[in-house]
């Protein structure tokens, strides 16, 4: 039992200071950078708009579910499908929090290559969609009405409060559970798998990459939660190229996001989106494993860096780990307590709609705002824990269902 505890604590101590710094920067970006600025420069289909969208997306701490409503909003406020697709590909692969955590767990080479790979794959995908968009060869996706972004809090003090609320509460609700799952999975891998497990299959790295793609693309794993898993697998002999495939393909897509992208951007754009992620992940994985000297650079950086953090457990590491766990527990308890209160206060006048694809506070806010704007709606309450929307008012059910799907989510009967 102590082996599991020690492995979990060691990984948590290595990541926690960098995660807290990343969450703080995420809060600053959210509170001080107007969301509407992301659509102002993204109307074109050429390299400039695509590169701008990718550059905007890389530091944003949005997962593959949280990025969807943002990308749909960008599209409906004037951004091209090319720029929106680049944003979709780049954003969930990275984020200031995951870049910091990547450095802490996997070393500087991975921390540098990860955002570079996200940028390149998003440029390729965005330019491909832009080529078809200019030729008018993309699917017709219907009405693309204007979308209004939420206003930033006014006043410096309110922005400071929003920085801490978003970074250390909303973000914890969004990825806290997935981060803990990633650490638990990494702990099990570290303790249970033999040290030479993956070295047995090291002569077939390309086959390993495609197996990882088949497993990682359909499932949901956030950019930060994938890091301890990839680090643990590398310590068991997995090649750095295969680990990079997991870090890129896992966070960038899942089954829910593919359905939403298909609905909001069209079938051909969805194919480009998916193929860009897969080809980019495998391409960079092959580069790392087969380029002379690169494989050794990544392999040598990981054990030294990880072991250094595992052995040097200072009071700062311990304090940061304790603070991180407390924040995650508080955020998750508040999330499920809110669900209990919603259930207790529900009235017979409220209609319940099951919404598939809501996984974070971004999703919750997006659905609440969209439904509240419908004529006839008096009250909207979204239960994120259960994935439901309770709507009160004199409005046909079909209008609510249409609004849910227009926002980029799926209605479940």
Classify 380 as helix, strand or coil: strand
Pairing of the two strands 377-383 and 351-356: unpaired
Please give the C-alpha separations between residue 327 and each of 31, 182, 227, 314, in angstroms, as whole numbers. Answer: 19, 17, 20, 20
Question: Which domains does the chain carry?
Answer: 2-326 (no CATH), 346-412 (3.30.70.100)
Q: Which residues contact 160 (CB under 8 A, 6 or more apart)?
A: 31
The answer for 291, left when phi > 0, alpha when psi is -120 to 50, beta otherwise, is: beta
Q: What pLDDT is recorded for position 257?
A: 65
CB atoms within 10 A of CB 267: 13
pTM of the model: 0.66
Q: What pLDDT is recorded for position 152?
A: 63
The single residue listed with the structure tokens 């832009």 is 130
Q: What pLDDT is recorded for position 65?
A: 58
Listed residue (94, 104, 115, 359) closest to 250, CA to CA: 94
Ranges under pLDDT 70 in the chain? 22, 35-45, 62-70, 72-78, 133-153, 194-203, 219-221, 254-257, 259-260, 263-264, 303-313, 359-360
Q: What pLDDT is recorded for position 322?
A: 92
CB atoms within 10 A of CB 108: 12
Q: What pLDDT is recorded for position 145?
A: 38
Classify 353 as helix, strand or coil: strand
Listed residue (233, 294, 219) closest to 106, CA to CA: 233
H or E segment to which residue 45 belongs:
none
Where does residue 201 rank: exposed (0-12), middle (13-18), buried (19+ CB within 10 A)? Answer: middle
Question: According to DSSP H, which parts of 193-266 are helical?
Answer: 205-216, 226-235, 240-252, 255-265
CB atoms within 10 A of CB 339: 15
Q: What pLDDT is recorded for position 137?
A: 58
Q: Are the beta carbons of 159 and 152 closer than 8 angstroms?
A: yes
Q: Give the separation between CA 267 and CA 244, rounded to whole angstroms.
A: 27
Q: Give the separation between CA 358 and CA 409, rounded to whole angstroms.
A: 7
């Amino acid at each position: 039992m102590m082996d599991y505890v020690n492995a979990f604590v060691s990984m948590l101590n290595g990541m926690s200071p960098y995660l807290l710094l990343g969450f703080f920067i995420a809060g600053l970006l959210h509170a001080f950078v107007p969301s509407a600025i992301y659509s102002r420069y993204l109307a074109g289909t050429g390299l400039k708009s695509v590169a701008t969208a990718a550059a905007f997306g890389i530091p944003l701490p949005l997962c593959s579910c949280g990025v969807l409503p943002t990308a749909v909003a960008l599209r409906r406020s004037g951004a091209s499908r090319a720029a929106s697709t680049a944003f979709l590909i780049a954003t969930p692969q990275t984020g200031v929090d995951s870049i910091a955590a990547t450095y802490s767990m996997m070393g500087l080479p991975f921390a540098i290559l990860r955002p570079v790979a996200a940028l390149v794959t998003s440029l390729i995908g965005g330019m491909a969609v832009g080529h078809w968009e200019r030729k008018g060869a993309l699917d017709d996706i219907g009405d693309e009405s204007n979308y209004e972004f939420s206003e930033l809090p006014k006043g410096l003090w309110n922005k400071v409060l929003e920085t801490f609320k978003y970074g250390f509460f909303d973000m914890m609700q969004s990825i806290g559970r997935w981060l803990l799952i990633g650490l638990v999975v990494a702990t099990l891998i570290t303790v249970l798998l033999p040290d030479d497990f993956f070295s047995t299959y090291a002569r077939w790295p390309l086959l390993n990459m495609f197996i990882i793609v088949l497993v990682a693309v359909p499932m949901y794993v956030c950019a930060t939660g994938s890091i301890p898993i990839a680090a643990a697998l590398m310590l068991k002999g997995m090649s750095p190229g295969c680990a990079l495939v997991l870090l890129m393909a896992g966070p960038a897509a899942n089954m829910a996001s593919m359905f939403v992208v298909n609905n909001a951007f069209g079938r051909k754009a969805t194919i480009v989106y998916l193929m860009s992620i897969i080809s980019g992940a495998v391409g960079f994985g092959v580069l790392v494993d087969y380029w002379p000297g690169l494989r050794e650079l990544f392999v040598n950086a990981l054990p030294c860096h990880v072991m250094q953090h595992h052995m040097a457990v200072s009071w700062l590491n311990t304090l940061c780990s304790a603070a991180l766990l407390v924040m995650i527990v508080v955020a998750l308890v508040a999330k499920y307590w809110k669900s209990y209160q919603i259930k207790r206060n529900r009235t017979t006048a409220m209609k319940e709609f099951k919404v598939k694809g809501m996984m974070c506070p971004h999703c919750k806010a997006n659905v609440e705002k969209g439904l509240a704007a419908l004529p006839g709606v008096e009250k909207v309450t979204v239960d994120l824990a259960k994935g439901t929307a309770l709507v009160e008012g004199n409005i046909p059910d079909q209008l609510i269902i249409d609004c849910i799907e227009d926002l980029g989510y799926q209605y479940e009967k």
